[in-house]
Structure 1
Amino acid sequence: MPQEIRELDPTTVERIAAGEVVERPASVVKELVENSLDADASRVRVAVESGGTESIRVSDDGIGMDEQALERAVRQHTTSKIRDIDDLEAGLATLGFRGEALHAIGAVSRLTITSRPRDDSADRGAKITVEGGDVGTVQPAGCPVGTTVEVEDLFYNVPARRKYLAQEATEFAHVNSVTTAYALANPDVAVALEHGGREVFATTGRGDLEETVLDVYGREVAEAMIEIDGAAVPEGPLEDISGLVSHPETNRASREYLSTYVNGRFVTADAVREAVIEAYGGQIASDRYPFAVLFVEVDPSLVDVNVHPRKMEVRFADAEGVREQITAAVEAALRREGGLRTRAPRGQSAPEQTEIDPGNRTEGRSDRADAADSTTADANGDGERSSAVRDGDPRDERPTATSDDGVSESVGTASTDRTPERSGPAERSESEDRPFGRPESPDKPSTQSETPEQRSAETPDAAPTVMATEQRRFGDDDPAMQSFDSLPSMRVLGQVEDSYVVAETDDGLVLIDQHAADERINYERLREQFLGETTTQVLADSVEIELTARESALFEQFTEALSRLGFQAERIDDRTIEVRTVPALIAEAGGPELVRDVLSSFVERDGDAAGTVEAVADELLADLACYPSVTANTSLTDGSVVSLLEALADCENPYACPHGRPVLIEIDTDEIEARFERDYPGHG
């Protein structure tokens, strides 16, 4: 029997609709701040309690509302922003336009609005309350010019929605991000944010974007910002591009600091954000993101802002054209300020072979990586160490930071002044010390960079077309089939591109990513050490670290959790902390600056306290495992490969690196025969 179709009651309809507009406290803050800005406010103050779950208060000095306007404002689909569909199609000059925000907020909270018109000669204003959708009567109220909206007990009448709100720190982080975004978008408006009675940040409202960046991000970030010159923008759908982007060396592990605006509206438009990131190319690692405050202007008829319930996304008529213009503008700014370096070839140096000692894997990066650093620095020609010198997992590409004396140093990596000692087994046979696939020479080994003519010139008696080297024949001294505990038995044949080990198995071939393999080994050993006991290392000199407003608020919430990980730090002032100890495991490979990334990880991995600390620790160990791991483009000795495979076989999970990339790929005989079409008639 078919189900009965019934009409929902108005209360249910209101709460369903409210859920599309009001997702969390930050959604409320966004809608209310937009209303304040549309009301021509010169000052906006946001104050929240318990991350916004208990109360939110947004006050402004805008044009205000009289009693009649207040009564209409809380009804559904009432707005002063547009009149009909023609206004929507012609393009919007305001942030709000749907007439849903106040009605939706009132349906899932206890809402109070107090307002006094700017042009009213009366000495008092008016107040109205809405509780769970029930609208009260308008009452006289004493208040200054402007509007104050108070929201209490958000989702008190929607228990399911309230139940799934995140912890207080996470909810406030979202509130912080939204408020910061609108503060940056409106440097001529004084915006302040308060949490639990404590001011988090306040901008001056003097119209200076760089000063506003200083107010919300701090001096370190503000001094690293580069201005975008709209005159350098190529022709395209965008009429103007302006704003600030950070030098590649000033970045974070989160996208939170990519603030993008379309016609003054804060949006998370993929076309805009991805274009900014693309402009940096290989200058920052794939899991790092720059700071950006980017404004684009476009004909309103060429962008649709009505594609998302919370107006956070937009759709461009020519998204590809927008992407090209933004990428070109950001690249031009970075290049002008020396922020975009000429890309040096990666992994092209020819250092000595690397030997892997499976018993010493956490000491530092390989000799190969250090030599690559030196080569790239020379190629840059400016003495700087490029962050794009490691070619393995994208997380290998660590950013650099400039010290007070102007010398660039690696951030989050071991000091490159120290040459790591990688001692292999005490004795190796001649074949073990020979790189795979390289011919033997009685005088000197041939190198990949030599041409046949150069090699011929060294042996004048040889015919010009004959290489004067002894060819190694497969089968003459090939190693026997090796057995491993949790890997297929295999006979190692050599390396491809000095990056992948090639081995023969009973069923076909195996390709092993040497970086991913070593990374897995290092990760499991680091994890074993960490699970034993978190030991700390006292820094010889404590390090002061400047935080953004968001990071500073997170530090307040997660000081104890940081301590459990081994970071002992205390606040010096509102934006500066002093780090005194770090986890012993990262003393060489990491550094105090990791505190910033760890704080962001606590929010991104929202959950119970114990589970969050464990998850963050695991993520931290996975990243740290990259540093000492042998990189791609590294020539290995025969014996080192066998040692690597033996250590890999001892791992709990030898088939994937800690970031989830495969360690080895098997190609069975059937697939090989199919690729060579051995099943063709006559080859049976």
Structure 2
Amino acid sequence: MPQIRRLPESLINRIAAGEVVERPAAALKELVENAIDAGASRIVVKLVEGGLGKLEVIDDGCGMSADEMALALERHATSKLPDEAIEQVSTLGFRGEALPSIASVAQLTIESRVRGAEDGWRRVVDHGQLVEEGPAALPPGTRVKVEKLFAKVPARRKFLRSERSEYAASLDVVRRLAMARPEVAISLEHGERRIFSLQADEPLADRVAGIVARELKDNSVAIAAEREGPGGMMRLSGIAGLPTYNRGVADHQYLFVNGRPVKDRLLVGAVRGAYADMLARDRHAVLALFLDLPPEDVDVNVHPAKTEVRFRDAAGVRGFIVSGLRQALATGDRRSAQGPDRGAMERWQQEPAQDPSPALATIFSRDWSAQKTRVSEAGQAWRAYETEVMARGDFAPQGRAIEVEETDAEQDFPLGIARGQVANTYIVAEAADGLVLVDQHAAHERLVLERLRAAGAGDAVARSQALLVPDVVELDEVDCDRLEEAAEGLAQFGLAIERFGPAAMLVRALPAALAKADPQALLTDLADDIAKHGQALLLEEKLEHVLATMACHGSVRAGRVLRVEEMNALLREMERTPRSGQCNHGRPTWVKLSMEDVEKLFGRH
């Protein structure tokens, strides 16, 4: 039987390093967190070869004396826990493992000077062995340099990724910590290049936009919500990108709990739930979300790297985030993405004019010798061109202009007055400051969804339309089980259904907004939607998915000819309706071409 033995200190440190330092970005995270906890007002981060060659963190914090520096390099030694109340911890790091773990797998150089002291102190540890120490000249604060990471641990070194991948991970770490502490000035250098330099005390929206993307500031809404929790007040703040401003990956979701960057599944799921009916399945929101709650309501000590947390009231926190985000997005409800797609504009501007007929070439030719054709011949050319076009059918009109009654000049409609319809799909409206194009199906789908929501919040019976003869819908037995289970929730929105035998449902009433919907198609889609989202979602969130499906059935379809009164009624209702700037799948419902954009198309700018 093998004997139990105590592991040597060097091996213990290397095992601990495996939990804390698996790549340069992990070491960088610990060092920057130490600088923030030291009270630094300015932090400089320098990387070489993405952190594989060297990483350095310089701060102007409180500094360490020689004795404190020696103690800091011992395991489980920390200044961040003044007592044993670990559930009350408010600092970013507190385990006391980072520095000795890094020093056991790299060459670590620490230089530090306490404010007011004449000299600083320097200590160099190479893969767990002290190789040098002595006085050092530097300003008050601390400078930590990590080199030769995993140089003596080749098994770990070979699992590191490319320089580009390691740099991307390190950049993400610095970005998240910079967002978490807008009161700290932070700069990042990679090789000889300055990546960014953020000033202290920037407004949160400016800092987040400066880190993520400049256009985020103009395509986002501010978040500010409060709710009473088990141990005290919970607060939610930050900025959330409009649903039409989204990304194909979730890398631009920055989540913080009590100022600590986290990548928590509960928070990610709450964000997905909040945007559920406003984003396509393969698109992701862009946001920076800050959740603050009493320390006793959250456990931050469940993961060695402290990137995951556990909440005392997980369901309450999730519901708070979903409702807080939805309320914030409702304040930017009528906004769509800022301006038309640049690529589409460029194609519109750059598309060469076609030469529809050789007969017309002489009319527009710059060769004045060719302009000797008489006017009568030009007229013949136009008639020949007209005959040619009508024969080919190339330019069959796709839109119709409508004569509109003049409105009161003092009325200012943000989405303008309808002037026509293109391809029986897009409404063309004239606003005071430009041209507005509206996708009639996408817009009406959003309006129907909001009506259904309003029915659920109010008197569903008053917004429900009973069928003269109940409709029997035959479905698979499993689908009937799902619908029967959801029947009570659906009744809140005016859809009255009940079981009618093993494999059928009886539809007694439809929501007024879906009066013309096909019950068979509606219930089939609802059953599929409930099956897709399973039992894991809260009832409220599950119903949101169901409502989106119902709204699609009750909306104006593309290809339908609308009267001018219907177009204007649609525009006016969009101006009054929350979240009308995007459809239920996250696409914009309208796009505006400013007068400046229009003038650019004709070279008048």
Give the TM interval when normalised to the shorter protein.
0.5 to 0.7
SS of 2:196's partner is strand
Partner of 2:10 in structure 1? Answer: 11
Aligned CA distance change for structure 1 residues 50 and 382 (closer, same or farther; 3 Å): same
Partner of 2:114 in structure 1? Answer: 117
Cα distance in 2 for partners of 1:140, 1:47 equals 23
Aligned CA distance change for structure 1 residues 15 and 187 (closer, same or farther; 3 Å): same
Report how far residue 60 of structure 1 moved: 0.7
Cα distance in 2 for partners of 1:265, 1:11 equals 31
Percent identity of equivalent pairs: 39
SS of 2:275's partner is helix
Superposition pairs for residues 570-581 of structure 1, below 5 Å? none
Q: What residue ranges of structure 1 are gaps of 5+ in the alignment?
A: 342-369, 371-380, 385-403, 411-450, 454-495, 501-630, 634-684
Contact 1:110 1:132 (C-alpha < 8 Å) held by counterparts = yes
Cα distance in 1 for partners of 2:82, 2:173 equals 28
- Aligned-partner residue type, residue 325 of structure 1: F
- Aligned-partner residue type, residue 100 of structure 1: E
Partner of 1:398 in structure 2? Answer: none
Report how far residue 286 of structure 1 moved: 2.2
Partner of 2:56 in structure 1? Answer: 57
Aligned CA distance change for structure 1 residues 131 and 338 (closer, same or farther; 3 Å): same
Counterpart selection for 2:299 from 301, 304, 317? 304
Report how far residue 210 of structure 1 moved: 1.6
Partner of 2:81 in structure 1? Answer: 82
Cα distance in 1 for partners of 2:415, 2:155 equals 58
Cα distance in 2 for partners of 1:97, 1:452 equals 69
Contact 2:271 2:322 (C-alpha < 8 Å) held by counterparts = yes
> Within the alignment, does 1:96 sit opposite 2:93 as a pair?
yes
Counterpart selection for 2:262 from 257, 263, 267? 267
- Aligned-partner residue type, residue 30 of structure 2: E
> Within the alignment, does 1:159 sit opposite 2:157 as a pair?
no
Comparing 98-107 with 282-291, which one deviates more in the overlay? 282-291
Partner of 1:329 in structure 2? Answer: 324
Partner of 2:200 in structure 1? Answer: 205
Aligned CA distance change for structure 1 residues 108 and 294 (closer, same or farther; 3 Å): same
Cα distance in 1 for partners of 2:435, 2:142 equals 49
Cα distance in 1 for partners of 2:96, 2:325 equals 36
Partner of 2:137 in structure 1? Answer: 142
Deviations 1:65-122 (A, max 9, x none): 11111111111111101144x3213x112111111100000000000011111232x1
Aligned CA distance change for structure 1 residues 63 and 234 (closer, same or farther; 3 Å): closer
Partner of 2:124 in structure 1? Answer: 129
SS of 1:230's partner is strand
SS of 1:223's partner is helix
Cα distance in 1 for partners of 2:300, 2:283 equals 29
- Aligned-partner residue type, residue 141 of structure 1: A
Aligned CA distance change for structure 1 residues 382 and 162 (closer, same or farther; 3 Å): farther
Cα distance in 1 for partners of 2:435, 2:313 equals 42
Contact 2:20 2:101 (C-alpha < 8 Å) held by counterparts = yes
SS of 1:295's partner is strand
Superposition pairs for residues 636-655 of structure 1, below 5 Å? none
- Aligned-partner residue type, residue 105 of structure 2: V
Deviations 1:508-544 (A, max 9, x none): xxxxxxxxxxxxxxxxxxxxxxxxxxxxxxxxxxxxx
Report how far residue 409 of structure 1 moved: 9.4
Deviations 1:527-572 (A, max 9, x none): xxxxxxxxxxxxxxxxxxxxxxxxxxxxxxxxxxxxxxxxxxxxxx
Deviations 1:358-404 (A, max 9, x none): xxxxxxxxxxxx9xxxxxxxxxx9979xxxxxxxxxxxxxxxxxxx9
Deviations 1:326-358 (A, max 9, x none): 1111100000111699xxxxxxxxxxxxxxxxx
Cα distance in 2 for partners of 1:181, 1:36 equals 15
SS of 1:259's partner is strand
Cα distance in 2 for partners of 1:94, 1:340 equals 39
> Within the alignment, does 1:188 sit opposite 2:183 as a pair?
yes
Contact 2:41 2:185 (C-alpha < 8 Å) held by counterparts = yes
> Within the alignment, does 1:248 sit opposite 2:243 as a pair?
yes
Report how far residue 407 of structure 1 moved: 5.5
Report how far residue 497 of structure 1 moved: 4.7
Report how far residue 291 of structure 1 moved: 1.7
Cα distance in 1 for partners of 2:55, 2:244 equals 36
Aligned CA distance change for structure 1 residues 292 and 498 (closer, same or farther; 3 Å): closer
Cα distance in 1 for partners of 2:245, 2:44 equals 29
- Aligned-partner residue type, residue 22 of structure 2: E
- Aligned-partner residue type, residue 113 of structure 1: I
Aligned CA distance change for structure 1 residues 234 and 78 (closer, same or farther; 3 Å): closer
Report how far residue 218 of structure 1 moved: 2.9
Aligned CA distance change for structure 1 residues 405 and 7 (closer, same or farther; 3 Å): farther
Cα distance in 2 for partners of 1:141, 1:165 equals 33
Cα distance in 1 for partners of 2:164, 2:13 equals 29
SS of 1:282's partner is coil
Report how far residue 499 of structure 1 moved: 13
Deviations 1:628-663 (A, max 9, x none): xxx999xxxxxxxxxxxxxxxxxxxxxxxxxxxxxx
Superposition pairs for residues 410-425 of structure 1, below 5 Å? none
Partner of 1:219 in structure 2? Answer: 214
Cα distance in 2 for partners of 1:250, 1:318 equals 31
Cα distance in 2 for partners of 1:3, 1:207 equals 60
Cα distance in 1 for partners of 2:329, 2:182 equals 23
- Aligned-partner residue type, residue 196 of structure 2: F
Superposition pairs for residues 229-244 of structure 1, below 5 Å? 229-231=224-226, 233=227, 239-244=234-239
- Aligned-partner residue type, residue 163 of structure 1: K
Deviations 1:204-257 (A, max 9, x none): 1123112212321232112212111225x5766652111111111112122221
Aligned Cα RMSD in Å?
3.3
Cα distance in 2 for partners of 1:409, 1:287 equals 24
- Aligned-partner residue type, residue 157 of structure 1: K
Partner of 2:289 in structure 1? Answer: 294
Counting matched residue pairs gives: 363
Cα distance in 1 for partners of 2:76, 2:436 equals 59
SS of 1:273's partner is helix
Report how far residue 498 of structure 1 moved: 11
Partner of 1:36 in structure 2? Answer: 35
Contact 1:109 1:151 (C-alpha < 8 Å) held by counterparts = yes
Contact 1:236 1:322 (C-alpha < 8 Å) held by counterparts = no
Cα distance in 2 for partners of 1:313, 1:407 equals 45
Partner of 1:653 in structure 2? Answer: none
Give the structure with the higher percent helix: 2
